[in-house]
């Protein structure tokens, strides 16, 4: 009787809680690709909508003593507000209506971004580079990697 009770207790303790999404992998971009783009082993946070299938975000970050680099993928059915300035460069081969832009947030942060969609699903891929105490955060260093991740996201949405 003691063994059966122990077995029942163990199986109940190890069962996942109901209605929780235990997701560790991003459905649109791989951890390996993020590591390649960011140049190291990032931490990741994956948040998927429980209400709307196929929507959510993945954030990959690397932080050291002088900088924080964050790669973020956001996917949703509703078009997000496009933060890119008008006249941003169109980008072929990455979904439909893709544009690419670079924005500065003060002297310490630069955000490179691609905004696009595949059919009715919109997505944004961005890389934020924040240099602590720096007057010149790098621009353009991540452009190829950003395109690679956006192509991966678009391919996974098809």
pLDDT digits (tens, 9 = 90+) for 47-90: 999 888 889 999 999 998 888 999 999 999 987 778 898 889 99
pLDDT digits (tens, 9 = 90+) for 78-124: 877 788 988 899 999 899 999 999 998 877 889 999 999 999 999 99
Q: Residue 152: left if φ>0, alpha if ψ -120 to 50, beta else—which one?
A: alpha
Q: Residue 131: left if φ>0, alpha if ψ -120 to 50, beta else—which one?
A: beta
CATH top class, domain 21-157? mainly beta
């Amino acid at each position: 009787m003691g063994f059966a009770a122990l077995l029942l207790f163990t199986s109940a303790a190890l069962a996942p809680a109901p209605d929780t999404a235990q997701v560790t992998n991003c459905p649109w971009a791989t951890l390996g690709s993020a590591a390649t783009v960011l140049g190291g082993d990032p931490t990741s946070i994956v948040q998927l909508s429980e209400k709307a299938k196929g929507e959510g975000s993945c954030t990959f970050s690397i932080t050291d003593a002088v900088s924080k680099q964050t790669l973020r993928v956001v996917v949703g059915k509703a078009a997000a507000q496009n933060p890119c300035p008008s006249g941003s460069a169109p980008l072929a081969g990455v979904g439909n209506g893709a544009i690419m832009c670079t924005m500065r947030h003060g002297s310490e942060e630069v955000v490179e971004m691609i905004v696009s969609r595949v059919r009715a699903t919109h997505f944004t891929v961005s890389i934020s580079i924040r240099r602590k105490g720096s007057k010149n955060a790098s621009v353009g260093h991540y452009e190829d990697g950003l395109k690679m991740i956006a192509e991966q996201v678009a391919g996974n949405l098809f």
